[in-house]
Amino acid sequence: MSGHTEPDDPVIATVRRAVRDALHCDVAALEEMPRGLGLRRFFRVTLRTGEPRSLVARVEAPEDPARRPTGAKPEPPLEPLRSFLEAHGIPVPAAYGGDAAGGVALLEDLGTQSLGAAVARVDAAERRRLYTEACDLTLLYQRAVDPTGRVHAFDRRLDATLFAYKADFFASHGLPAGLGREATPAERAAVTDAFGEIAAEAARAPQRLAHRDFQSANLLVREGRPPGRRLGVIDLQGALLAPPEYDLVCLLRDSYVELPDAEVAYQIGRVRPLLPDAPDSDSFLRRFDLLTLTRKGKDHGLFYYTARVRGLPESLRFVPATVRALRAAAVRVGTSSPRLRRLAELIETLPEPA
């Protein structure tokens, strides 16, 4: 959803009031931005006078109950996480205040060009430069520590609860849509058991700060910036502790931008030894594939759920890339245990829509 907003929308009045109170100026234009798969609303606000001339109003929304894992901690407020990331050199939007009671945060406008949109228009060499910059941002995340204990992201983990949620989403939404029928108890168990095994292996890995949804739609290419400083990071609040491969899986196995295997291998080979924990190659690659199965399994379910429940059929165009990523990872790790083998066999039956 995007375009000009309805004048009787009560959220508009809240945004205008937040701008006036925080920046002491009036709104010249206000336009709703594409919402994507989430429920938060975003507005690009043009001011009549002063600086900045434009900003983004981020408006909280009630969570979708189906997408809130049972027993999981809610996402913490944007602050102090935003300022913590900023202090650690991560290019997040500057903050201009807002209306906490109304759920409005006024943030720097980083532009409209996502990494995915940018790489669709450039050659392979420029794509590599942009993805190198993006991968390097994961190093900044993983080097960040919080000795003060104020940043709640360090109290949240990619734990068994979240893996169980991913398994349920895949089994409840992805499998029925892909198979054309409800999943059998045995098929659901194949997903649950394999994801549980992956959760146990992930728990034994080093735990580092992760964005959690570090994919091309949440990285914006800012105009007028020099190479190496072009990207900005948005959608910050989901940060948590996770294995060092997790954000790289989100980025390099992104359903929105399907990178060539050679590019994925190049970035992995370059960045792995630079990570704070510098996992050995075999451990890294195995966890990378295991986390791909859980990340892409959840995404597979999410795209079908978004089309069916949210009425956004355009999300289905990302299913083929998701299935290809699932199959490739399943082939590499599917023979390493009985549980993973059963999951791999199930994934092999999923169709790859045209």
> What pLDDT sits at residue 321?
97
In 3D space, the residue among 177, 200, 213, 183 whose CA is nearest the CA of residue 343 turns out to be 183
Question: Which amino acid is it at 30?
Answer: L
In 3D space, the residue among 277, 310, 293, 287 whose CA is nearest the CA of residue 350 turns out to be 293
Rounded to whole angstroms, the Cα distance separating 210 from 205 reads: 14
Rounded to whole angstroms, the Cα distance separating 57 from 14 reads: 10
Look at residue 10 and give its three-state secondary structure.
helix
As a whole number, mean pLDDT of residues 223-251 equals 95
**Region of 235 on the Ramachandran plot (φ > 0 left; ψ -120 to 50 alpha; else beta):** left
Structural contact between residues 212 and 233, judged by C-beta atoms closer than 8 angstroms? no
Lowest-confidence pick of 20-34, 105-119, 210-224: 20-34
Q: Is the dihedral of CA 288, 294, 295, 299 positive or negative?
A: positive
Rounded to whole angstroms, the Cα distance separating 343 from 140 reads: 34
Per-residue pLDDT of 281-337, as tens digits, reads 999 999 999 999 999 999 999 999 999 988 989 999 999 999 999 999 999 999 999
Reading the block at residue 350, the tokens are: 């999923």
Mean pLDDT of the chain: 93
Helices (H) and strands (E) in the chain, counts: 12, 10
Residues paired with residue 232 on neighbouring β-strands, in sequence order:
220
